[in-house]
Amino acid sequence: MPDLPDPLPYAGAPAPDPWAALQAFTAARIALGRTGTSVPLREALAFRLAHAHARDAVYSVLDTERLLAGLAALPLPACAVHSRAATRPDYLQRPDRGRRLDDDSRARLAGPAPAACDLALVLADGLSAAAVNEHALPLLRRLLPLLHGAGFRPGPAVLAAQARVALGDEVGQLLRARLVLVLIGERPGLSAPRSLGAYFTHGPRPGLTDEARNCVSNIRPEGLGYQPAADKLFYLLCEARRLGLSGVGLKDQSDLLAG
């Protein structure tokens, strides 16, 4: 029987991608390969799964009971408030309502008049409550000892539902805080549905815009780790207190000092 020729490669097999080795260094969607003119089926399914995780993050809710227990263990007094956005669809369609407290929450924080504090803390669901549930407490466990060592007087922590970043300005004003720090779930991406952002403002009051705030973003084990994030926030908060400002006038030079 004559020898048969070697079989030709299967035409539908994914072509190897020379960038595949770079996948070890990033969660970005690179080196997906291709099958004909399309991505391989496994990558198409992975995209749909990542999109589902992102949608789930947008509709996740704060684990209020666990967060309050964790804050009490720090120890840090805490309370829960709500924005003027009554529901999740209302929050997504009316961003302005997520920037202000509802009447009951405002009355709860306004009286009796609290003692002035250096820093008010707000844990807000934002666009990914899952990020706050997962990352806020580990970050605070590293940040609060640094702040206590520098003489910061923290006020009570506030858990805010259906909240935008600017809600912290109203909370900080009502708590008579020199600074307000808002830990909030960031807009989920296809590779990062649970990323935490930290925004702080000096002299918080309603009506401030983004140029008055500073942000440390992508806080998560796969991004900016808890300890580096705590160190950077500590440096920036100390500088904001020393200079009496935040926002575009406050520059992050912590990396230069570390070098």
Q: Which fold has domain 64-250?
A: Rossmann fold (3.40.50)
> Tens digit of pLDDT per residue, the chain (259 long)?
566 556 555 555 555 667 777 777 877 788 888 888 888 888 889 889 999 999 999 999 999 999 999 999 999 999 999 999 999 999 999 999 999 999 999 999 987 666 789 999 999 999 999 999 999 999 999 999 999 999 999 999 999 999 999 999 999 999 999 999 999 999 998 888 999 999 999 999 999 999 999 999 999 999 999 999 999 999 999 999 999 999 999 988 877 665 5
Domain boundaries, the chain: 64-250
**226 with 233: CB under 8 angstroms?**
no
